[in-house]
């Protein structure tokens, strides 16, 4: 029974080392992602096919339209909540 309770220091060192390696890996991944994004930006400048460029433009326009719609919904909800908040605040002192 005692042998099963004994922890192995070698296993602990491996775990500690693995935890230390994770931040370095994250930094490497971030650096690679930056490089990939730079490559994508360069590809847009290099693209000469008009149909591909038009397709990309339409895709971006669709995303912009979706974001504008979401913005309008958020603004409307915010105004609605702010309106309710001011009405409730005005009613509270009058009744108290």
- Segments forming the whole domain that contains residue 46: 42-85
Residue 32 lies in a domain: no
Please check the confidence at residue 52 and state whether its pLDDT lies above 80.
Answer: yes
**pLDDT at res. 47:** 65
Average pLDDT across the chain, whole number:
74
Residue 67 lies in a domain: yes
In whole angstroms, how far apart are CA 93 and each of 10, 39, 87, 90?
A: 69, 61, 11, 6
**pLDDT at res. 96:** 45
Give the chain's domain count: 1
Q: Which residues of 48-63 are buried (b: 16+ CB within 10 A; e: fewer)?
A: eeeeeeeeeeeeeeee
**pLDDT at res. 90:** 56
pLDDT digits (tens, 9 = 90+) for 22-39: 556 677 787 788 887 777
């Amino acid at each position: 029974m005692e042998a099963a309770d004994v922890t192995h220091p070698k296993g602990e060192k491996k775990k500690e080392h693995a935890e230390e390696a994770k931040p370095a890996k994250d930094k490497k991944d971030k650096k690679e992602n930056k490089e990939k994004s730079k490559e994508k930006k360069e590809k847009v400048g290099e693209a000469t096919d008009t149909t591909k460029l038009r397709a990309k433009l339409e895709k971006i326009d669709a995303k912009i339209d979706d974001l504008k719609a979401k913005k309008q919904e958020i603004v409307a909800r915010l105004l609605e909540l702010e309106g309710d908040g001011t009405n409730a605040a005005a009613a509270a002192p009058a009744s108290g």
